[in-house]
Amino acid sequence: MASLPFSATSFHSTFICFNYKARNPNLFFLKKGSSFTFSRRKFIIKSVASDQRQDLKEEGQITEEASLDTFVPDSASIASSIKYHSEFTPSFAPDHFELPKAFKATAESVRDSLIINWNATYAYYEKINVKQAYYLSMEYLQGRALLNAIGNLELTGAYAEALKKLGHNLEDVAREEPDAALGNGGLGRLASCFLDSLATLNYPAWGYGLRYKYGLFKQYITKDGQEEVAENWLEMGNPWEIVRNDVSYPVKFYGEVISGPEGIKEWVGGEDITAVAYDVPIPGYKTKTTINLRLWSTKVAPEKFDLSAFNAGDHAKAYSAMNNAEKICYILYPGDESLEGKTLRLKQQYTLCSASLQDIIARYERRSGEFLNWEIFPEKVAVQMNDTHPTLCIPELIRILIDVKGLSWEQAWNITQRTVAYTNHTVLPEALEKWSLELMEKLLPRHVEIIKMIDEELVQTIIDEYGTEDLDLLQEKLKQMRILDNIELPESVVEMIAKPEKSSVEAIESTEEDDVSDEETEPTAEEDELEEEEIEEKNEVPPIIEPDPKLPKLVRMANLCVAGGYAVNGVAEIHSEIVKNEVFNDFYEMWPEKFQNKTNGVTPRRWIRFCNPDLSKIITKWTGSEDWVVNTEKLLTLRKFADNEDLQSEWREAKQRNKVKVASFLREKTGYIVNPDAMFDVQVKRIHEYKRQLLNIMGIVYRYKKMKEMSHEERKASFAPRVCIFGGKAFATYVQAKRIVKFITDVGATVNHDPEIGDLLKVVFVPDYNVSVAEMLIPGSELSQHISTAGMEASGTSNMKFAMNGCILIGTLDGANVEIRQEVGEDNFFLFGAEAHEIAGLRKERAEGKFVPDPRFEKVKSYVRSGVFGPYNYEELMGSLEGNEGYGRADYFLVGKDFPSYIECQDKVDEAYRDQKRWTKMSILNTAGSYKFSSDRTIHEYARDIWRIDPVVLP
């Protein structure tokens, strides 16, 4: 279908529908060779949203009375659709039908089917004016969409057959799709799983994000380690998106705030850009519900192009406004070491918030019609902030309600506090965003005014809660809870705290006249001096209002989220407890009702059903139906068959087929040849010190060193063969993380070419890890490492994907590991390491010089320093694990502390793997116990407890 000149929510829109559904079997024919032409074309103009019926008659297939609801395309009609798109929505030369062109045409034919349900979904939502949830996220790590979409539409077989007729294989065509570069790690993947579950469960919802031109970066692995280049995912266009040039909103930066009549504020001047909507339909599984992901791109009006400057030869000036606007959506997480980088990140966050809220409000007004009532706005709208990146939607919603819609401060503040909710994803202090007040005042002057008002409201609430009698207590509460950090208290608060209470003399004067002596007694000099000191003491401005001029003035975004929202949730049980008891303990004591837990989940459609068809068939056979795909509790049925030899045999065969695929993939991507009979040991996730890829590779070095000290026979007896697979990106400016990547690749280069070791140990770093790579690796994995320092991982979701696919985890009691271990059984999880409640004490012990490192750990560091892994100087990396204090020192993430426990646990892994019957049973029980970790369960909980929305099934 060509680009569509209608909104997804248009209720009586029409569009051109090309009648390509094989009405005439001779409509298309293939030439000899790879090209083809068309004998004739037919066009029909129909109204879809108003009529919901389409005249798509085919002989023997669709009758006059049939509707879009009952029409199921077969392979012939799909082939015609693909051929149509290859000519009428061309992105490639017409004389060839090779894989890139086949993918584009296939995707566009799938999009036609999505659009039908997509329009029906939102037409119905508009008609019944249902309450809707809006999910705001800076990341959506979607992965490839083709196989997921046709799987949800139940058209996989038909598309495979159609493409076979056209000379291609479905899997080959699907591999042509680049991963959408809209995310980096678990935050974005979670958001995408949530959209899938929302659509599958028929919840009225919408996602909002930014359309990054280059995403994060494409990662290459060279002899120097990680190298970054711009991602090119949009180079050939994105067939899933539809630009909505009729849906755009103004977004302002800089300028000034002026006061108009009756105290009305107006934000004027500054830099104006336009946010334009790009829509991506998100289909549910076996349902007509198709929701929307709306991504914003940025531009300026054509008149902003300085034509006179261009003609004068000053091209940089001519393009300045355009470049400033467009670069907002170039890169995910631009480096923020510089002021320019910080400014760009803040612009990104505000663009997402402003455009999305303007859109949400426009939809609310349109649905309300003449019955517009702002007080019931929270009864129709729920806004979920995925981490602190969308925090600015709190002051932005207030700004729109006050400055544009004319509401009072009290009304706007009350509405906002009933509309917005916040998901916390981290306990790392550096990830709880703090913005420079000076920068924010320049870039968003009106929002700073509003944030100061929110801060004043919060301070007043704190004082109401704790009083002013104990100023030390009050000082501590304000220090922890205020939104504005290192900034003087509002004058109204200072006056209230400093206001003297009635003196004893005033108290006496206020008593009954008959209780007062007729004779006034003059106070003595000593009494007079004492009274003056007491009054001065009561009038003294407390030290809590004095900012430190040496420290920066900051806006604490997480505190703003908690103060401005009605719900705060963590993403795993242990994480939510840390949020309540440590990160936001003061807020929790004041507002316990705000805090909830919502343990993360992943979609079983993408992460078992579609990426692991061999295992899916086995699960379906042994559970009795495919119900497990939407009701994962059915996976529990596998428990009673875990010892069944037939199931175990089928399970091992499926795992082995997947491992063979992984081995082929690794050879293609890295050149390394690995033995698929070895254990596949995988750690794939963002490279970060707290995730402790360093602990993993140090354990591998220890293993390699031990092997080198043994004879061939001793090695075979002591170690199970392993292929240790790493993947993940280190942020471009995160030097220590990049050192870890370099170290892993250097160890691999040495170990993999050591003839003494052979297939007993291989170390492979997979470049440019993304969703598609995960879909390949996870089904073939046998051991997966989730070894973060306890108390530092909010949840993790890759651990859930691995468990679902029958992979056994080795890990700490951190994040969702705790709950996974509970569900799969303690005997089916390899546990090691310090626990969360011990971490602070262990760091204190280290700082006091009491830590005694394990001799095995010291030998590994010396081995690395010996140069066995090449000439690179690893002193900085090894040095970070030494010393008792200092930045970049003292082993903050406790690699050395947990090392002994880790390598001893790895011995247990080897022992278990040698007993394949035992290992297979553990694998089956991991899949069975993963039932809880479906994003469907998580979304049901969000819908019930936070958003208060109900499923809406299309008629």
Angle at CA of residue 637, ends 634 and 639, nearest 5°: 135
Is 425 an annotated catalytic residue? Answer: yes
- Which of the residues 294, 477, 686, 762 is marked catalytic? 686
Query: Could you tell me the CA-to-CA distances from 754 to 679, 723, 761 in Å, in that order?
Result: 19, 14, 9
* Residue 458: Cβ within 10 Å count: 22
Is 659 an annotated catalytic residue? Answer: no
Helix axes of 75-88 and 156-165: crossing angle, nearest 10 degrees: 60
Rounded Cα distance, 393 and 395, in Å: 6
DSSP 737-790: HHHHHHHHHHHHHHHTT-TTTGGGEEEEEESS--HHHHHHHHHH-SEEEE-PPT
- Which of the residues 801, 821, 843, 932 is marked catalytic? 801
Six-digit token pair at 897?
């502390």
Report yes or no: 806 and 619 within 8 Å, Cβ to Cβ. Answer: no
Query: Could you tell me the CA-to-CA distances from 65 to 47, 61, 374 in Å, in that order?
Result: 16, 11, 44
Is 729 an annotated catalytic residue? Answer: no
Q: Which residue has the tokens 């007079």?
A: 528
Six-digit token pair at 32?
């000899």
- With DSSP H G I counted as helix, E B as strand and the rest as coil, what are the percentages for the chain, rounded to 5? 50, 15, 35
Is 712 an annotated catalytic residue? Answer: no
Report yes or no: 638 and 718 within 8 Å, Cβ to Cβ. Answer: no
Rounded Cα distance, 388 and 346, in Å: 12
In the chain the first and final C-alpha atoms are separated, in Å, by 25
Nearest to 10 by CA among 115, 113, 114: 115
Six-digit token pair at 858?
């010291």
DSSP 171-224: HHHHTTSPPP-S--SHHHHHHHHHHHHHHHTT--EEEEEE--SSBS-EEEEETT
- Which of the residues 9, 426, 797, 920 is marked catalytic? 797
Rounded Cα distance, 292 and 204, in Å: 10
Rounded Cα distance, 655 and 762, in Å: 19
Furthest CA-CA distance within the chain: 124
User: Which 3-state string (H, E, C) describes 400-437?
Assistant: HHHHHCCCCHHHHHHHHHCCEEEECCCCCHHHCCEEEH
Task: Enumerate the β-bridge partners of residue 282.
Answer: 291
CA dihedral 563, 565, 571, 576 (to 10 degrees): 40
- Which of the residues 685, 762, 786, 897 is marked catalytic? 685
Is 244 an annotated catalytic residue? Answer: no
What DSSP element (H or E) covers 556? strand 554-556
Contacts of 930 (CB under 8 A, 6+ apart): 632, 635, 800, 803, 804, 820, 823, 824
* Residue 937: Cβ within 10 Å count: 18
Rounded Cα distance, 110 and 115, in Å: 9
Distance of CA 280 to the CA centre of its chain: 17
- Which of the residues 304, 347, 691, 738 is marked catalytic? 691
Number of H helices, E strands in the chain: 35, 26
Q: Which residue has the tokens 């995925």?
A: 386
Contacts of 547 (CB under 8 A, 6+ apart): 486, 487, 488, 553
Rounded Cα distance, 540 and 217, in Å: 56
DSSP 913: H
Nearest to 620 by CA among 600, 602, 604: 604
Phi, psi of 806 (to 5 degrees): 75, 25
- Which of the residues 83, 425, 477, 921 is marked catalytic? 425
Burial bucket for residue 663 (CB in 10 Å: 0-12, 13-18, 19+): buried
Is 345 an annotated catalytic residue? Answer: no
Six-digit token pair at 727?
């993947």
Nearest to 80 by CA among 42, 119, 32, 116: 42
What is the set of active-site residues?
Answer: 425, 685-686, 691, 797, 801
